[in-house]
Amino acid sequence: MRITRISSDLLNVPTGKLITDSTHSLENVEVVTCNVETDQGLDGFGFTYTIGTGGYAIKAALDSIFAKMLLGSNAEETDEIWARMWKGTHAVGRGGITTHAMAAVDIALWDLKGKALDMPLYKLLGGSSKAIPLYDTNGGWLHYNEEELVSAAVEAAERKFHGFKLKVGKKTLAEDVARIKVVQAAVGKKMPVMVDANQVWGKRGALERGRAFQDLGVYWYEEPMIADDIWGHKEVAASLDVPIAVGETIFTRHEFENYLKLKACDILQQDVCRVGGITEWMEIAKLAEINGVKVSPHFVMDLHPALVASIPNGLFVEYIPWLRKLFKDPPRIADGTIFPPEAPGIGLDLNTESLEKYAAQ
Ligand SMILES: [Mg+2]
66-107 residue pLDDT tens: 999 999 999 999 999 999 999 999 999 999 999 999 999 999
**What's the rounded Cα separation, in Å, for the pair 346 and 112?**
9
Tell me which amino acid residue 315 is. L
pLDDT above 90 for 188: no
Rounded mean pLDDT of 33-48?
Answer: 98
Rounded mean pLDDT of 267-271?
Answer: 98
344 part of a folded domain: no
Three-class secondary structure of residue 244 per DSSP: strand
345 part of a folded domain: no
Q: How far is the CA of 332 from the centre of ligand 1 (A)?
A: 23
Q: How far is the CA of 298 from the centre of ligand 1 (A)?
A: 7
Label residue 165 by pLDDT band (50, 70, 90).
very high
Q: Which of 122, 95, 105, 108 is nearest to 275 (CA)?
A: 95
Q: How far is the CA of 25 from the centre of ligand 1 (A)?
A: 13
Q: Are 32 and 62 in contact (CB under 8 A)?
A: yes
The full length of the chain comes to 361
Give the ranges where the chain is alpha helix by DSSP (H). Answer: 55-61, 67-69, 78-88, 97-117, 121-124, 146-158, 173-187, 203-216, 230-239, 253-261, 278-290, 304-308, 354-357
pLDDT at residue 354, rounded to an integer? 86
pLDDT above 90 for 190: no
Measured between alpha carbons, how far is residue 349 from residues 2, 131, 295 in Å? 22, 21, 26
Q: What protein residues have CB closer than 5 angstroms to ion ligand 1? A: 196
Is the domain of 196 the same as that of 268? Answer: yes
**What's the rounded Cα separation, in Å, for the pair 282 and 295?**
10
Q: Which is it for strands 43-50 and 132-136: parallel, antiparallel or unpaired?
A: unpaired
Is the domain of 86 the same as that of 128? Answer: no
**What's the rounded Cα separation, in Å, for the pair 171 and 188?**
26
Measured between alpha carbons, how far is residue 101 from residues 10, 57, 201, 275 in Å? 12, 9, 30, 10
Q: How far is the CA of 195 from the centre of ligand 1 (A)?
A: 9
Give every CB contact of residue 83 below 8 A, 6+ residues apart in sequence. none
- SS3 annotation, 308-344: HCCCCCECCEEECCCCHHHECCCCCEECCEECCCCCC
201 part of a folded domain: yes
**What's the rounded Cα separation, in Å, for the pair 317 and 132?**
7
Is the domain of 128 the same as that of 243? Answer: yes
346 part of a folded domain: no
pLDDT tens column, 12-35: 999 999 999 999 999 999 999 999
222 part of a folded domain: yes
Range of the domain at 189: 123-338
Q: What is the mean pLDDT of the chain?
A: 97
Look up the pTM and report it. Answer: 0.97
pLDDT at residue 322, rounded to an integer? 96
Q: How far is the CA of 307 from the centre of ligand 1 (A)?
A: 19
261 part of a folded domain: yes
Q: How far is the CA of 312 from the centre of ligand 1 (A)?
A: 23
Is the domain of 111 the same as that of 149? Answer: no
Q: How many domains does the chain have?
A: 2
Is the domain of 143 the same as that of 98? Answer: no
Q: Are 54 and 251 in contact (CB under 8 A)?
A: no
Is the domain of 247 the same as that of 300? Answer: yes
Tell me which amino acid residue 44 is. G
Q: Which of 98, 19, 18 is nearest to 280 (CA)?
A: 98
145 part of a folded domain: yes
Tell me which amino acid residue 20 is. T
Is the domain of 251 the same as that of 139? Answer: yes
Q: How far is the CA of 263 from the centre of ligand 1 (A)?
A: 19
pLDDT at residue 189, rounded to an integer? 83
pLDDT tens column, 310-361: 999 999 999 999 999 999 999 999 999 999 999 999 999 999 898 889 999 7
Q: Which amino acids are annotated catalytic? A: 167, 298
**What's the rounded Cα separation, in Å, for the pair 316 and 53?**
27
- Across the strands, what pairs with 193? 164
Long-range contacts at 187-192 (CB < 8 A, ≥ 24 apart) = 187/153, 187/154, 187/156, 187/157, 188/157, 191/156, 191/157, 191/161, 191/162, 191/163, 191/164, 192/135, 192/162, 192/163, 192/164, 192/219
343 part of a folded domain: no
Is the domain of 51 the same as that of 96? Answer: yes
Is the domain of 54 the same as that of 178? Answer: no
Is the domain of 134 the same as that of 36? Answer: no
Tell me which amino acid residue 253 is. R
> What CATH number is associated with residue 278?
3.20.20.120
Three-class secondary structure of residue 238 per DSSP: helix
Is the domain of 8 the same as that of 150? Answer: no
Residue 284 has a CB neighbour count (10 Å cut-off) of: 26
Is the domain of 85 the same as that of 40? Answer: yes
Backbone angles phi, psi at 201, to 5 degrees: -105, 165
> What CATH number is associated with residue 73?
3.30.390.10
Q: How far is the CA of 221 from the centre of ligand 1 (A)?
A: 10
